[in-house]
Amino acid sequence: MQETHSMTFTVENIELTPNPRSVKFILDKTVIDSGSKTIQEGGFLEADAFAHNLFALDIIDMVYLRENFVSITLISADLWVIFKDKIKNIIEADLEKYADGEEEVSSSILDDFDMEKYPQLSDDEKIIIVEAVLDSSIRPALANDGGGLEVIEVEGPIVRIRYQGACGGCPSSTGGTLRVIENHLRSQLDPDIKVHTYN
């Protein structure tokens, strides 16, 4: 009799992203209930067969999971031609549902927040508000392209972010996308905000 896993995933669709090194694999079920998860070389448990087998290929730069997709970034875009099916097979054979990912702030705190007060907040308080604004608007759009972003720190009007998934190393993330994020935070919170990427 064949042994069955508690839950296996089927790749329903494979989408290209704005980053030629990243491909987004859409799954038939939710892989992570809330938040997101980034896996990089050495950043996973030996017991995680999915991550172990992917990184054993020696071509994976980063894996990003959110909702019902896995976004995989290779060290070179040219490798997708050779490895796309193999990576799909590893996802379908070894991927297991992850517990909740890195925490994301509930956007409901914005309901009672007076945006005029943002400049007077401490840097730690500003991070919470910036996270909530990004959760409500920017992150869902980035997720459509197989990526995400993390707020590293807020220092006065400076917001430092790091891109995740397909957004990391994507040419548009350092230019156009960064301006969109900056303009959105300026319009929502403070016209003096400047957004920088953090590597």
CATH of domain 107-197: 3.30.300.130
Out of 74-78, 121-125, 168-172, pick the least confident. Answer: 168-172
**Where do the domains of the chain lie?**
11-94, 107-197
Amino acid at 76: S
Cα 166 to Cα 65: distance, rounded to the nearest angstrom: 11
11-94 folds as: Ribosomal Protein S8; Chain: A, domain 1 (3.30.1370)
* H helices present in 115-169, as ranges: 123-133, 139-144
Q: What are the φ/ψ torsions at residue 36 (nearest 5 degrees)?
A: -145, 170
Here the tokens at position 48 are 């995680």
pLDDT at 102: 64
Q: pLDDT band for 38, please (50, 70, 90 cuts).
A: confident
Work out the average pLDDT over 85-113.
80
Give the DSSP H or E segment for 82: helix 80-94
- The 10s digit of each residue's pLDDT in 9-34 is 999 999 988 888 999 999 999 998 88
Q: What's the predicted TM-score (pTM) here?
A: 0.68
| pLDDT above 60: residue 4 | no
- The 10s digit of each residue's pLDDT in 128-158 is 889 888 887 788 888 888 888 889 999 999 9
Q: pLDDT band for 107, please (50, 70, 90 cuts).
A: low
